[in-house]
Amino acid sequence: MNKEITLEIGQIVKALKGRDAGQYAVIVGIEDSRFVWIADGDKRKFDQAKKKNILHLEPQSFISSEVVNSLQESGRVTNGKLRFAVAKFMAEQSKANQKGD
């Protein structure tokens, strides 16, 4: 049973494969139904976004409105905003984990 994964620009994903496995990044572009472009603003800058197979990503339920708005307005996003989005997501994750979710 292959459930259709819907990925959106601005969504946080966790890399499952490759040298960046275990890292979180933000989707900054969608290539086609199989590939997306991800960047985290730190090791992987926006201008050097990585093309990833969506099967190698674990989508998180967090979508950064800052990243979405920036990409819609100017077609790009600053690395600072990407770092902020990942940091905000990580902070929310640790809060959820502390609550014993």
In a domain, 46, yes or no: yes
Residue 59 falls within a domain, yes or no?
yes
Element (H, E) at 97: helix 79-99
Choose among 23, 33, 28: nearest CA to 53: 33
- Judge residue 91's burial from the number of C-beta atoms within 10 Å of its C-beta, 0-12 exposed, 13-18 middle, 19 or more buried: exposed
What are the tens digits of pLDDT across the range 19-73? Answer: 999 999 999 999 999 999 999 999 999 999 999 999 999 999 999 999 999 999 9
How would you classify the pairing of strands 24-30 and 57-63?
unpaired
How many domains does the chain divide into? 1
Q: Does residue 1 lie in a domain region? A: no
Q: Model's pTM, two decimal places?
A: 0.91
In a domain, 37, yes or no: yes
Beta-carbon contacts of residue 61 (< 8 Å; ≥ 6 apart): none
Question: In terms of residue numbers, what domain contains 16?
Answer: 11-99
Say which CATH number the domain at 64 has: 2.30.30.140
Question: Does a structural domain hold residue 16?
Answer: yes
